[in-house]
Amino acid sequence: MTPPSSTSDDTTSGLLAQLTTDEKIALLSGAGYWRTVGYPERGIAAFTLNDGPHGVRAVSADDHLGASNAATAVCFPTASALSCSWDTSLARAHGSALAAAARLADVDVVLGPAMNIKRTPLGGRNFEYFSEDPCLTGRLAAAVVSGVESGGVGASLKHFAVNNQEYDRFTISAEVDERALREIYLRGFEIAVTEGRPATVMSAYNAVNGVPCSENHRLLTGILREEWGFDGLVVSDWGAVQDRVTALRAGLDLEMPASQGLGAAAIGAALKSGELSEEDVDRAAARVVELAARFAREDRPEPVTTSEAELADIARTIAQQSIVLLRNERGTLPLKRTTAVALIGEFAENPRFQGGGSSNVQVASFTTARKEISRFLPSDQVLHARGCEGEEIDEALLDEAVEVAAQADVALLFVGLTEMTESEGFDRETLSLPASHLALIDRVSAVTPRTVVVLHKGSAVDIASWHDKADAILDLNLGGQEVAAAALDVIFGDVNPSGRTSETVPLRLEDTPAHLDYPGGLRRAHYRESIWVGYRYYDRRKMPVAYPFGHGLSYTDFAYADPRAVVHDDESVTVEVAVRNVGERDGFEVVQVYVHDDVSSVARPERELRGFSKIWIAAGESVTARIELDRRDFAFWDEHRDRWTIESGAFTIEIGSSSRDIRARVGVDLAGDAPTAEIIDRHTPVRYFLGDPEFAAVIEQFVSSYPMFGGDFDSLPPLARRIVTETINGMPLEKLRLVSGGAFSEDAIASAIARLTSLR
């Protein structure tokens, strides 16, 4: 969002000056469910906000969820699918297409993208979220926002912040330590805010460390505005505000939807009592007026297209580039066009392409595998069986599927999670596919020469229990209304698959980092796993997984060579690597750059994604991938100093095709900020002062002569010497004054602190 100029500030002040206090207060709450209050006769227009992140639902002002009377619109792939593209250019195109769809529906603000971290695969709304990793999440969300805003429409980043489960989502408090908060749960938002510059940010239903997000001054003002420089409007999630006065003071500008006058009455009463000032009201009202003026401008940017057919084409391209080929044994895919194919599963003719809840889009049409396969095979080479209906096993349908599969060269099994399994409003109870889908995989794979499992789901599922029964596994996620056409484009080789997993696929639910603490209780969810989320956890523990973060196969192969890293004066780093397509087909490769801190004073992950690049390489050709890293990419959140810190020393930059497929490494040395993360004070352990030669000499003299050691430290047995050394080294500096018999005075301790502090 473009920062307001002094001229726009003057215009806003002039418009506000026309309004009474009550009229300004009215601006701070919705006029209905989707529209703001406006005073068009005085030059203040109302504007419309609406879902969603994967397609626009234009509804009437009094419609709540919008499913009853929504106009049809194009349904794009969900964030869980888009994230598997690892393509910021594609994400920007997605945002531009959303803006075009919004303009067609007279919507001014699209409520998305949603960008919370996938803490647990059970999260019911995971299909709306990008990834378990904040770098991938933030870069893609920033690109979506940029695309939306370029089309003259506002984006609304949500749900700020730490909104990782649907269970008790209105009342739960996410109890999370500061380091995890900064490195995992806020980092993606920070990237999207500072790089994408959204018009609005939406506060979440939940609380963070006991403070509701809509009333959280530290989140909405201290971090979002003062640290990150956000200059837009903060809007509540629908119905999230509990205390309107506290929320306004915290930095929440617009309460949605209309609160039947309750919010306005509370603000008015607080003004009279002095709890709020007129300045508090004017500040929030100005942001509403500024955003309304932006949408009323005559030079509002035009959208990229006004054709729904073109938007559907974009949705198909996004789906194609987001499909992940997880497994492909014996070169099963792509299929030859002489193959007899059995299409099996209810998703073959009624695909699940979106999640349930507020993001649900009413579509005019959608593609199906049963229809689309006619582009590749004549009807006499295609057999079909429904196989199941719903989640319970139907023996008659199952028997029919087995009979059909036995007649084919290959079975395409379209399975996944049903709409009753994952949705906004509730979390999943298991990683397993429905019993009817598991039975299909088991029975069909036993009678057909080759089995291809085509997955429709919004988050990780249990693959391990049936993995070896499938010759190929194609993960579609929830790929929007064109996903069936895109899937067959990949299956028959018109498109070379290039998607990569955006979350780790675990072997068991019990292996997941948050398993012991999800979903919490007594209105608290304790994030005891801290920063160890997703691959950070699995890689640190060297734990086997079904498929690692960043994994995905292609119909060609790539070789990496000549890694280079150049450190610049500001300690940003340019990483380059030559990637050669050594196969016979053109295709995309996703180059992933991870950072490992070789020596750290705090526990850090084995590797952390810090950059990526999706590059097109023709068969036999070589392309140099270039990824820029900034200083923050080498930092951790220092809880002692309450800031980002880069420790001086060596870092290894790992370049690969997944978090567990590292193809090249290169080292860099950074000067950093400080040699250690410790606070230097009277309680700092002695070992942190031993780098000071003067202090170390006194310590050595003290240890060798102290009566407790008989005045002859060197004569002690080896174990005793080690115990003494470790005891002294770990002793707080303050303690030396008490045990040294005067060897360390108050002045000596103060001098040691001053010297070590000066070295920093």
Phi, psi dihedral angles at 577 (to 5 degrees): -150, 140
State the CB neighbour count (10 A cutoff) for residue 309: 8
Tokens of 62: 């009094």
- Quote the tokens at residue 743: 């060897």
Joined together, the tokens standing for residue 121 give: 């695969």
Write out the two tokens for 307: 């054709």
Q: Measured between alpha carbons, how far is 323 from 491 in angstroms, rounded to an integer?
A: 10
237 is catalytic: yes
The residues pairing with 212 across neighbouring beta strands, listed in sequence order, are 207
Q: How many residues does the chain have?
A: 760
CA distance 158 to 204: 7
d(C-alpha 353, C-alpha 362), whole Å:
12
CA end-to-end span of the chain: 39
In 582-705, at which residue ranges do the beta strands (DSSP E only) sit?
A: 587-597, 608-617, 622-629, 636-638, 643-645, 649-658, 661-670
CB distance 517 to 122 below 8 Å: no
Instruction: Count Cβ atoms below 10 Å from residue 576 Cβ, excluding itself.
Output: 16
* Residue of 416, 357, 394, 444 whose CA lies nearest to 159: 357
Alpha-carbon distance of 403 to 397, in angstroms, equals 10
Residue type, 417: L
- Catalytic residue selected from 237, 253, 282, 475: 237
**H/E stretch holding 338:** none
How far apart (Å, rounded) are the C-alpha atoms in residues 721 and 674?
31
Partners of 444 in beta bridges: none
Pick from 103, 99, 189: nearest CA to 148: 99
Judged by phi (left if over 0) then psi (alpha if -120 to 50, else beta), residue 571 lies in left
Pairwise CA distance, residues 36 & 758, whole Å:
56
Do residues 481 and 360 lie in contact, with contact meaning Cβ atoms separated by under 8 Å? no
CA distance 213 to 220: 8
Report CA torsion sign: 368, 371, 375, 379.
Answer: positive
Please identify which residue in the block is written with the tokens 């749960």.
Answer: 185
The torsion defined by the Cα of 602, 607, 611 and 612, in degrees rounded to 10, comes to -170
- Contact call for residues 216 and 252 (beta carbons, < 8 A): no
Alpha helix (H) residue ranges in 421-528 = 435-445, 483-491
CA-to-CA distance for 557 and 437, rounded, in angstroms?
32
Q: What secondary structure does DSSP assign to 97-140, as a single string?
A: HHHHHHHHTT-SEE---B-----STT-TTGGGS--S-HHHHHHH
- 351: its two tokens: 């695909």
Distance between CA atoms of 116 and 424, rounded to whole angstroms?
14
CA distance 349 to 435: 19
**CA distance readout (Å), 145 to 151, 220, 536:** 10, 19, 27
Instruction: Provide the strand spans (E) within 485-534.
Output: 524-526
Gap between the Cα atoms of 347 and 384, Å rounded: 12
Task: Please tell me the number of Cα atoms within 13 Å of 62 on its side-chain side.
Answer: 1
Residue 467 is given by DSSP the state: G
Query: Among all residues, which ones are annotated catalytic?
Result: 237
